[in-house]
Structure 1
Amino acid sequence: MKILAVGMNYVAHCQELHANENLPKEPVIFMKPDSALLKDSKPFFIPDFSRQVDYETELVVRINRLGKNIAERFAHRYYDAVTVGIDFTARDLQRRFREEGKPWELCKGFDNSAVIGDFVSVNKFKDIQNLKFHLDIDGNTVQQGNTADMLFKVDEIIAYVSRFFTLKIGDLLFTGTPVGVGPVSVGQHLQGYLEEEKLLDFYVR
């Protein structure tokens, strides 16, 4: 199982963190190892190597078929379920790595940095490109988005990444975060919602 993720996929988020950069012309792809996965409402422990770990709330898509060089018009056949996830980012490390022109897997792919909630069938929704999702921390909404605002749609991303990687059953695709990212601290209670259904629920330790 591999975890694929998309960076800079919402315009407002690009302006939030990368205001001096042009919008991407094609999906910005990075990966997380399987050891990054955190599920079943287990707590997230802030790592000791970072002073600022940010939440990034995202729609996560689960791959259900083996595929390579998938045409965009057929991409919808290759996933069966979605959920809300958190792409945790060691922001202080990311800033340093970017300034130094170095790879930044360490700030994105560390253990338990890919949190996922409960999956629900895509058949439950009329259009996954028009889904609202949001994150609450301690009962207050801190980030919200709509998949309609993606720069690169889910099917487009799947077609793109399958040119480079063979997609396998159980692979996960984090589809990018909207504006409103921010740091977490010990003791906080995070809850993620897709439409009005709570799918993600865990604590920061």
Structure 2
Amino acid sequence: MDLIKNIFCVGRNYAAHAAELSNKVPTSPFLFSKPTHAFVEASGQEISLPGNRGPIHFETELVIRIGRPYEKGIKLDEIIANMAIGIDFTLREVQNELKKKGYPWLLAKGFPNSAVVSKFIPFPGIDELKNRNFSLLKNGEKVQSGNISNMIFDLQTIIDFSAVHFGLGEGDIIFTGTPEGVGEVASGDHLSLMWDESVLGDCIIKLSDKVSP
């Protein structure tokens, strides 16, 4: 696995997902970040998540990895090195309380192992992405499915926005938003990260009072 630097995440990038959580649809890209300790590759192992902070929800997303420094006018095929399927794990009750107070979401989004990512595969180009779906299987049942054609903000807009406001360079990854269908995980759940009918990564969830990356 190549070095992962910054982890950016796009919130509320599918209208149906915003609706299911009673959130307003943003008028410009809405981003947050996760610490690098949140990153873990799903390669069939058991992954520990905090079991003492309320419900943890899965949010399945297309993940892109940046392969070179951003330059104004750069195209997707020039800057995206590869792609993966990921899960943005969220402490939902914690997030709801933070939202009520107007606080940042870090406590709800940035805990160790909260950014689970499959193996990376070559970026196939935007047309191929639109012809294929990403999805999550929980214990063999499909619980989420999405296609980037339903994004509110497309990949080019996300990359340009991220670069202008935060900087963007080799090794940065972007979780590009989750479709509707988010839900809770429990200890023992077997999660499979799917690219059409191919399994790119899988893991077994273990909820624990002690979690470390």
- Output the TM-score relative to the length of structure 2: 0.89
Give the drift of 1:157: 0.2
- 1:134–1:192 Cα contact (<8 Å) kept: yes
Q: Give the SS at the match of 1:148.
A: helix
The equivalent residue for 2:182 is: 181
Q: Give the SS at the match of 2:165.
A: coil
Deviations 1:148-171 (A, max 9, x none): 100001111001110012212111
Q: For residues 5-20 of structure 1, what are the structure 2 equivalents within 5 Å?
A: 5-19=9-23
User: Are 1:31 and 2:21 counterparts?
Assistant: no
Give the distance between the partners of 2:194 and 2:53, measured in 1 at CA: 27
Q: Give the SS at the match of 1:13.
A: helix
Give the distance between the partners of 1:176 and 1:125, measured in 2 at CA: 16
The equivalent residue for 1:162 is: 163
**Identity over aligned pairs, percent:** 37
Q: Give the SS at the match of 2:46.
A: coil
The equivalent residue for 2:205 is: 204
Unmatched 5+ stretches in structure 2: 207-213
Give the distance between the partners of 1:114 and 1:57, measured in 2 at CA: 10
Give the drift of 1:130: 4.0
Give the drift of 1:124: 7.2
Q: For residues 1-205 of structure 1, what are the structure 2 equivalents within 5 Å?
A: 1-19=5-23, 21=24, 23-41=25-43, 42-67=45-70, 70-71=72-73, 74-123=75-124, 126-205=127-206
Cα distance change of structure 1 residues 124 and 150 upon mapping to structure 2, 3 Å threshold: closer
Give the distance between the partners of 2:169 and 2:47, measured in 1 at CA: 27
Q: What is the root-mean-square deviation of aligned Cα atoms in Å?
A: 1.6
Give the drift of 1:126: 3.9
Give the drift of 1:16: 0.4
Give the distance between the partners of 1:76 and 1:150, measured in 2 at CA: 19
Deviations 1:130-179 (A, max 9, x none): 43111001101111111110000111100111001221211110000000
- Output the TM-score relative to the length of structure 1: 0.92
Give the distance between the partners of 1:182 and 1:45, measured in 2 at CA: 17
- 1:131–1:148 Cα contact (<8 Å) kept: no
Q: Give the SS at the match of 1:58.
A: strand
Greater mean deviation of Cα atoms: 115-124 or 82-91: 115-124
Give the distance between the partners of 1:167 and 1:63, measured in 2 at CA: 8
- 1:75–1:159 Cα contact (<8 Å) kept: no
